[in-house]
């Protein structure tokens, strides 16, 4: 089973409420919100006020992907603003176990995000404290980048790592995913599929979500 999590980074921000209704109509199950600070990644996007606003217009779980330095300073504030899931990057938090525990304590699901060149072994000690892993299949910072093909093998190894430990940790994958590659990705064991351009790129987000679901469910 998989769920589609459209990234609102590629939505039309002047009509964000309508865009959210459109993806709900298509069958989206999670709303992915990319928070960037211009420090950890070379781009600045949106933050707490926008999360508070979108909380009022949707019942979908809100998934905040924090691409910021010092994520532990803000993680709980995102839960309080209405996020159901909050992920922090393993590359930027020296006290990851504490941050994950604090997110859970605030009532959120705690996630660890991991960049393409960061080895999976860096997740090992944090896994029991995480509700999900956000595997990046592009270097974070921008929508519309090309899927890094080695991510499929990394995804399979992460699936194995979680299954070997008998953990329930879910796998989310993010970056460069569209109808052409989603089946390969769900087959390799990803459960939450983030897509920005794949959903919003053609101007019909309802259809965009439906296309992804169909592409992932075709019989081989």
Residues engaged in binding Zn ion (CB under 5 A) = 34, 65, 174
Measured at the alpha carbon of residue 134, what is the angle toward residues 193 and 96, in degrees to the nearest 5?
A: 160
Should residue 111 be labelled a site residue for ligand DX5 when binding is judged by CB under 6 A? no
Which residues pair with residue 67 across a beta bridge?
36
First to last CA, the chain: 16
Minimum separation from the CB atom of position 194 to Zn ion (A) = 6
Should residue 115 be labelled a site residue for ligand DX5 when binding is judged by CB under 6 A? no
* 174 has catalytic annotation: yes
Give the separation between CA 157 and CA 64, rounded to whole angstroms: 25
Minimum separation from the CB atom of position 67 to Zn ion (A) = 7
Minimum separation from the CB atom of position 219 to ligand DX5 (A) = 25
Which residues pair with residue 33 across a beta bridge?
64
Minimum separation from the CB atom of position 213 to ligand DX5 (A) = 15
Give the separation between CA 138 and CA 174, rounded to whole angstroms: 7
Return the residue nearest Zn ion (CB atom): 65
Among 196, 208, 209, 216, binds ligand DX5 (CB under 6 A): 196
Radius of gyration of the chain (CA): 16
Should residue 205 be labelled a site residue for ligand DX5 when binding is judged by CB under 6 A? no
What stretch of H or E contains 6?
strand 3-6
Should residue 68 be labelled a site residue for ligand DX5 when binding is judged by CB under 6 A? no
Should residue 47 be labelled a site residue for ligand DX5 when binding is judged by CB under 6 A? no
Should residue 195 be labelled a site residue for ligand DX5 when binding is judged by CB under 6 A? yes
Q: Strand order of the sheet with strand 109-114?
A: 3-6, 192-195, 170-174, 132-136, 109-114, 85-89, 62-67, 31-36
- Quote the strand ranges of 61-189, DSSP E: 62-67, 85-89, 109-114, 132-136, 170-174
Q: Which of 34, 63, 93, 131 is catalytic?
A: 34
Should residue 42 be labelled a site residue for ligand DX5 when binding is judged by CB under 6 A? no
Should residue 144 be labelled a site residue for ligand DX5 when binding is judged by CB under 6 A? yes
The answer to whether the beta carbons of residues 175 and 65 sit under 8 Å apart is: no
Minimum separation from the CB atom of position 18 to Zn ion (A) = 21
Q: Which of 93, 131, 174, 178 is catalytic?
A: 174
Should residue 141 be labelled a site residue for ligand DX5 when binding is judged by CB under 6 A? yes
* 59 has catalytic annotation: no
Catalytic residue numbers, as ranges: 34, 174
């Amino acid at each position: 089973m998989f769920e589609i999590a459209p990234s609102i980074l590629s939505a039309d921000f002047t009509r964000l409420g309508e865009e959210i209704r459109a993806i709900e109509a298509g069958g989206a199950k999670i709303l992915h919100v990319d928070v960037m600070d211009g420090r950890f990644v070379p781009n600045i996007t949106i933050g707490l006020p926008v999360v508070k606003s979108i909380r009022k217009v949707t019942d979908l779980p809100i998934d905040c992907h924090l691409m910021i330095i010092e994520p532990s300073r803000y993680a709980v504030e995102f839960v309080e603003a209405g996020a159901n899931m909050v992920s922090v990057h393993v590359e930027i938090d020296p006290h990851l176990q504490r941050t994950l525990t604090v997110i859970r304590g605030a009532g959120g699901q705690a996630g660890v995000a991991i960049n393409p060149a960061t080895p999976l072994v860096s997740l090992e000690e944090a896994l029991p404290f995480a509700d999900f892993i956000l595997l990046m299949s592009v270097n974070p910072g921008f929508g519309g980048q090309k899927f890094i093909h080695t991510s499929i093998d990394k995804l399979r190894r992460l699936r194995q790592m979680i299954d070997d430990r008998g953990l329930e940790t879910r796998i989310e994958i993010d970056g460069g995913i569209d109808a052409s590659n989603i089946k390969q990705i769900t087959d390799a064991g990803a459960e939450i599929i983030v897509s920005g351009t794949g959903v919003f790129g053609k101007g019909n987000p309802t259809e965009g979500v439906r296309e992804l679901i169909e592409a992932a469910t075709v019989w081989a």
